[in-house]
């Protein structure tokens, strides 16, 4: 969905501008878990704001990733792809 523009929108490390924060806080977010990363990136992209990527090194330790989180992310992607124009 964002592959053309971003390499990894799943990083939990983010810094938002004041403009981006005001935008996100003004939206009624539908996300319930990790899918907030996808939904927030979508709103920022849709409003022509910039997401700059900074590479980080991550060492896996443990994860809260489970089937429910994966399903939430997939559903959010489908909602964005098939949203009314």
Write the pLDDT tens digit of every residue in 29-56. Answer: 888 787 888 898 889 988 999 877 777 7
- Is residue 2 one of the residues assigned to a domain? no
| pLDDT for position 26 | 95
Helix/strand/coil for 37: helix
pLDDT at 78 exceeding the cut of 60: yes
Q: Structural domain tally of the chain?
A: 1
Contact 67, 30 (CB under 8 A): no
- Is residue 61 one of the residues assigned to a domain? yes
- Is residue 22 one of the residues assigned to a domain? yes
Q: How many residues are present in the chain?
A: 85
Six-digit token pair at 57?
Answer: 């090194």
- Is residue 39 one of the residues assigned to a domain? yes
- Is residue 5 one of the residues assigned to a domain? no
Q: Which domain holds residue 74?
A: 18-81
- Is residue 3 one of the residues assigned to a domain? no
- Is residue 9 one of the residues assigned to a domain? no
- Is residue 34 one of the residues assigned to a domain? yes
Residue predicted with more confidence, 61 or 52: 52
């Amino acid at each position: 969905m964002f592959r053309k523009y971003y390499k990894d929108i799943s990083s939990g490390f983010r810094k938002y501008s004041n403009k981006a924060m005001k935008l996100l806080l003004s939206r009624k977010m539908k996300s319930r878990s990790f899918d907030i990363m996808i939904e927030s990136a979508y709103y920022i992209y849709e409003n022509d704001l910039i997401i700059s990527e900074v590479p980080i090194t991550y060492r896996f330790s443990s994860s809260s990733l489970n089937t429910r989180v994966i399903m939430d992310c997939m559903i959010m992607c489908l909602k964005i792809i098939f949203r009314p124009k």
